[in-house]
Structure 1
């Protein structure tokens, strides 16, 4: 459960309760919706992309599909690496209407959700020549020395007719006072070893795979964690992720090796929902009640290659693989089946 909550905390990192004081969030929204959305999209984009890639991990451990009626239950755990380039972005104050650096040049490298600002970077909110507020840019997971993203998935597979295998995956649904979430996925793998005459006589299998993941979650601000007065305040995240691949593997009795090449695509939409009463700020929103003020969008389209090995002992299988992609990942799977 703690591992899953860490995944949720990444998804909902922009709750600001981790990185912002009450005044910090109010001042961010007080800078205007365009500035707040622009900054938060840049700040959270690597996190959204990482989750899209992470949810595409661990789909397969062989190019050989199961026979009709064969089944397997798998528990897959993994970590994805955060690279240095994902820990910062270039903020040019000329792209913003009201935010200006308190010191230094007009263009600076600042931390993303995965980074940190050391020392702190402060920005002023200016309207005309008047400073109406200030903000300290948020620290990311780098300030907690977190360099990897965890992943945990339960998956079932069953053999279908015509050399095809159906895969279904999920994470246990969470529904508490503050958090609701659900994750599910489905994939199809088709082996075409028999398409090529004579190939089935060799200890090698070939197949194609396509899989889809969906994650939906919502974090409701409790009375104690509400940062700005208002009603029905929450953050919701919807993630869709696709993975396509061509697989090859050996067909040996005990130890086998497998690899794939393919792509990952997907999108993530995170919304700050509810009503937020802004008492101070730029004139266009001062005194307003903002409704669903922030929408953060990210999309992914990238390549992926995987190399792995699997140990099979009767009904028990153990596999480990490494995937080369935007967020490289290491995955370990334990499977039971026939």
Structure 2
């Protein structure tokens, strides 16, 4: 199971989808839809936010756009830092209708998709003052000692007319027994210094950029619990990410420096798909079969600044940069082109 999780996060970015297991989020349905939605929102939000910011990484390594017909192929990889405050949240049982800590606590910190519960956190499902079942809260990636969110992608760039450059990127489709994913994106960069008199003779370039990414991923449950059974069960996530930036860089022969300021915005739609029959749960849904019971939506708007350097050797270029944002990231690009 561990190797499957690691493969999943490396190749499709959406690490939080792989952290569900037999004692996963679907078991929370036995406490009712309100409780399940409340917990799912708090548990998954850091993962969705991290992916939206991560998709904005690596778009550019200079403000100077390519000439007409010039092209570049890039392999871009990096890691996003997961801050401590993203690994847990405070769960107060007073905010829930049917969940109570088995330990007797009224509230405590529990792991998000990036955290862990050590030891396991068990909660009773209660109704009318009687305990009718119990669940173990799902672990996050902290239980696998994963502290960074990796990403890798392939990108192509080509120079167009009027000081503009088109960028296309994708991650090869991944299909396995439990995983399906797809990722693609497109961006446009326009160099202002190509048409501002006097500036284009200086050893600097200034340009604007807009880029869009789309990610679709699905993780299918291969195991079922005694609390909740059913068929065709999976978690599906669709993510849209936009990045707008103003870029500046030097125009020197071998070593150059670049930086940008801009914004990241996007949305994530996560759905629990399939049929879920609640075998043990509150009377409201006891014995009921729920179809596509959870739908969680998030949106992100944040600031981003990047500093980097690039080494150019004939048709081979190597760049590295660091981005300051809600999930700080370090990225490296290997670029080939003319």
- Does the CA-based 8 Å contact 1:27-1:134 persist in structure 2? no
- Does the CA-based 8 Å contact 1:277-1:290 persist in structure 2? yes
The Cα of 1:139 is off from its aligned counterpart by 2.0
The Cα of 1:213 is off from its aligned counterpart by 0.1
The Cα of 1:122 is off from its aligned counterpart by 2.2
- Does the CA-based 8 Å contact 2:25-2:137 persist in structure 1? no
The Cα of 1:104 is off from its aligned counterpart by 4.7
- Does the CA-based 8 Å contact 2:35-2:98 persist in structure 1? yes
**Residue in structure 1 matching 2:9, options 3, 6, 23:** 6
Q: For structure 1, which segment, 230-239 or 5-14, has the greater mean C-alpha deviation from structure 2 after superposition?
A: 5-14
What do residues 160-218 of structure 1 show as CA deviations (whole Å, max 9, x unaligned)? 10100000000101234433221000000000013432111110000000000001122
What do residues 116-148 of structure 1 show as CA deviations (whole Å, max 9, x unaligned)? 222332221111211111122222111222110
Q: What is residue 323 of structure 1 aligned with on the other side?
A: 323
Q: What is residue 74 of structure 1 aligned with on the other side?
A: 74
User: Equivalent residues in 2 for 1:97-108 (5 A)?
Assistant: 97-108=97-108
Q: What is residue 65 of structure 1 aligned with on the other side?
A: 65
SS across alignment from 1:34: helix
Q: What is residue 167 of structure 2 aligned with on the other side?
A: 167
Q: What is residue 145 of structure 1 aligned with on the other side?
A: 145
Separation in 2, partners of 1:191, 1:112? 42
The Cα of 1:13 is off from its aligned counterpart by 3.6
What do residues 19-78 of structure 1 show as CA deviations (whole Å, max 9, x unaligned)? x43xx6564211001101110110011011111111110000000000111100000000
Separation in 1, partners of 2:140, 2:81? 15
User: Equivalent residues in 2 for 1:176-325 (5 A)?
Assistant: 176-222=176-222, 225-227=223-225, 228-325=228-325
Separation in 2, partners of 1:63, 1:152? 22
SS across alignment from 2:58: coil
Question: Are 2:37 and 1:34 aligned?
Answer: no
SS across alignment from 2:200: helix
Separation in 2, partners of 1:283, 1:233? 22
- Does the CA-based 8 Å contact 1:27-1:133 persist in structure 2? no
Q: For structure 1, which segment, 71-80 or 287-296, has the greater mean C-alpha deviation from structure 2 after superposition?
A: 287-296
Separation in 2, partners of 1:39, 1:82? 20
Separation in 1, partners of 2:18, 2:247? 40
What do residues 283-313 of structure 1 show as CA deviations (whole Å, max 9, x unaligned)? 1000101111122222211000000000001
Which runs of no fewer than 5 residues in structure 1 stay unpaired? none
Q: For structure 1, which segment, 8-17 or 260-269, has the greater mean C-alpha deviation from structure 2 after superposition?
A: 8-17
Separation in 2, partners of 1:33, 1:337? 53
SS across alignment from 1:233: strand
Q: What is residue 95 of structure 1 aligned with on the other side?
A: 95
Instruction: Note closer, same or farther for the CA distance 1:172–1:249 as it changes in structure 2 (3 Å cut).
Output: same
Instruction: Note closer, same or farther for the CA distance 1:297–1:317 as it changes in structure 2 (3 Å cut).
Output: same
